[in-house]
């Protein structure tokens, strides 16, 4: 039986369990604030989608991502098959790939703006040189009389013809031929591939064609035919080469300082500086899964050909939306630790804080992320993070100092917030070691909370 001094009233249920009730309230408030936190995540995704739409609009008028396939020779021939004692003549096409292919590409990258958004576009000068070995056709059990030599075409697959800036010329033994738009080849499968951003692309859906110069059909199968193709091409996001040659060499140089080498093959050598980069590739036919002669209707082989492309993507060095999303994912940690710190000060200093003040602090912490998102689109992520963190810290410090009647305790809360924002900024900047650093940091924070919790009764 409990006894209380005379004249002193027995504590009520609320007073006896005030600490437990306040802890329950803080936990429930934290969970409730996860709803607007999720809405902020949705807002970041929406702004990112808006930027992508603007980028697509800009690049659709300038020229999209370019994949260069070829040159290839289309060899039409007639195949005779017997069906019900009747001879049926079918016209088919072979794609003859070059024996050697050397691609020299130089690009100049520009930024085009629409409102607060920008897109990276480029101008490129491309020179494709190499040679065809026509004798390879004889190994396909194909009689020279079956080949329609007058209908042989040279084709080049491109991704977006809007990017062509000048006439594309074919130089062959001193003779110049101008390419025409389109790929007039029957039953030619486009050859589909999937990019790193899950976008689909096709090799021969659009492109160019030209009538190459050949000697008489009698000597055609014994000849080596060199070629040289020059073009000026606009594009965006990236530029790729398909290793069509039995030996393919490629060199890409640019003034872009943050390249992302992409595709099936990485460059053998690369140099990156503050003035740009130079990268070189060398791919053999042994490195890929298709041969030098392909039937135009063989979709599996053409898809393998599409998947073998390599090149470079012109990406932004910092993606502020990705960093904003990472910062929001740590939002619950900032909310919870700030509430715990305020609760500790309230209980240890025996100063009651109205629950409405907790709500105001939580809303101020959430406002940090909208400030960060809006300012990072204009100022960049790092500067926006600094400004938003200082503004939020000052607001909460001054408010809590006024509520607690002690500017010193307000400063203590401000120092804690600055530490949390600094800790989270370091985690956001990390890639490989973010999990390790975050786990160790949380362990230390939990140890500090456990130490100071001993003073609570």
Cα 84-86-90 angle, rounded to 5 deg: 110
- Per-residue model confidence (pLDDT) at position 427: 82
What's 1's DSSP letter?
Answer: -
Cβ(103)–Cβ(241) below 8 Å: yes
What's 165's DSSP letter?
Answer: -
- Per-residue model confidence (pLDDT) at position 214: 66
pTM of the model: 0.75
- Per-residue model confidence (pLDDT) at position 123: 92
Residues in the chain, overall count: 457
- Per-residue model confidence (pLDDT) at position 1: 46
- Per-residue model confidence (pLDDT) at position 244: 92
The alpha helices in 12-143, defined as continuous H runs, are 13-16, 18-62
Question: For residue 187, what is the enclosing H or E element?
Answer: none
Q: How would you class 211 by CB atoms within 10 Å of its CB: exposed for 0-12, middle for 13-18, buried for 19 or more? A: middle
Domain ranges (residues) in the chain: 15-49+320-453, 64-314
The SS3 of residue 449 is: helix
DSSP 41-77: HHHHHHHHHHHHHHHHHHHHHH---EEEEEEEEEEEE
Cβ(76)–Cβ(152) below 8 Å: yes
The SS3 of residue 258 is: coil
- Per-residue model confidence (pLDDT) at position 335: 85
Question: For residue 198, what is the enclosing H or E element?
Answer: none
Q: Which residue positions in the chain have pLDDT lower than 50? A: 1, 4
Residue 43 sits at φ, ψ, to 5 deg, of -65, -40
Closest of 156, 152, 292 to residue 220, by C-alpha: 152
Cα 372-441-344 angle, rounded to 5 deg: 80
The SS3 of residue 348 is: helix
Closest of 124, 128, 90 to residue 108, by C-alpha: 124
Name residue 192's beta-bridge partners: 202
Residue 177 sits at φ, ψ, to 5 deg, of -125, 135
- Per-residue model confidence (pLDDT) at position 222: 60
Long-range contacts of 368-375 (CB under 8 A, 24+ apart): 368/334, 368/392, 369/37, 369/40, 369/324, 369/327, 369/328, 369/331, 370/40, 370/43, 372/324, 372/327, 373/40, 373/43, 373/44, 373/47, 373/324
The SS3 of residue 212 is: coil
């Amino acid at each position: 039986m409990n006894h209380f001094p005379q004249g002193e009233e027995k504590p009520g249920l609320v007073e006896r369990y005030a600490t437990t009730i306040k802890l329950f309230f803080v936990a429930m408030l934290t969970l409730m604030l996860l709803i607007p936190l999720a809405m902020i995540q949705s807002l970041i995704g929406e702004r990112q989608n808006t930027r992508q739409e603007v980028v697509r609009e800009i690049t659709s008028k300038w020229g999209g991502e370019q994949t260069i396939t070829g040159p290839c020779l289309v060899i039409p021939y007639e195949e005779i098959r017997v069906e019900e004692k009747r001879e049926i003549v079918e016209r088919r096409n072979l794609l003859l790939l070059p024996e050697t292919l050397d691609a020299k590409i130089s690009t100049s990258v520009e930024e085009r703006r629409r409102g607060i958004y920008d897109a990276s576009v480029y101008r490129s000068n491309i020179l494709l040189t190499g040679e065809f070995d026509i004798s390879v056709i004889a190994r396909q059990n194909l009689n020279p009389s079956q080949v329609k030599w007058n209908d042989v075409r040279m084709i080049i697959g491109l991704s977006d013809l809007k990017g062509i800036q000048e006439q594309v010329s074919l130089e062959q033994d001193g003779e110049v031929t101008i390419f025409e738009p389109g790929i007039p080849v029957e039953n030619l499968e486009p050859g589909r591939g999937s990019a790193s951003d899950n976008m689909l692309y096709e090799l021969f859906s659009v492109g160019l064609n030209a009538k190459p110069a050949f000697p008489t059909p009698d000597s055609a199968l014994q000849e080596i035919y060199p070629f040289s193709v020059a073009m000026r091409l606009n594009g965006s996001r990236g530029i790729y080469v398909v290793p069509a040659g039995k030996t393919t060499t490629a060199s890409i140089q640019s003034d872009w300082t943050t390249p992302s080498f992409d595709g099936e093959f990485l460059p053998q050598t690369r140099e990156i500086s503050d003035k740009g980069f130079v990268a070189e590739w060398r791919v053999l036919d042994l490195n890929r899964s298709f041969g030098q002669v392909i039937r135009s209707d063989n979709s599996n082989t053409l898809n393998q050909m599409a998947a073998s492309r390599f090149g470079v993507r012109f990406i932004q060095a910092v993606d502020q939306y990705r960093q904003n999303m990472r910062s929001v994912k740590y939002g619950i940690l900032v909310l919870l630790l700030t509430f715990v710190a305020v609760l500790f000060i309230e209980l240890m200093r025996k100063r009651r804080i109205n629950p409405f003040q907790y709500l105001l602090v939580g809303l101020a912490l959430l406002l940090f992320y909208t400030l960060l998102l809006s300012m990072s689109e204009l100022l960049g992520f790092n500067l926006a993070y600094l400004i938003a963190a200082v503004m939020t810290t000052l607001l909460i410090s001054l408010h809590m100092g006024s509520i607690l009647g002690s500017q010193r305790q307000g400063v203590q809360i401000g120092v804690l917030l600055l530490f949390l924002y600094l800790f989270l900024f370091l985690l956001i900047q990390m890639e490989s070691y973010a999990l390790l650093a975050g786990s160790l940091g949380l362990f230390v924070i939990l140890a500090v909370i456990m130490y100071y919790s001993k003073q609570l009764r």
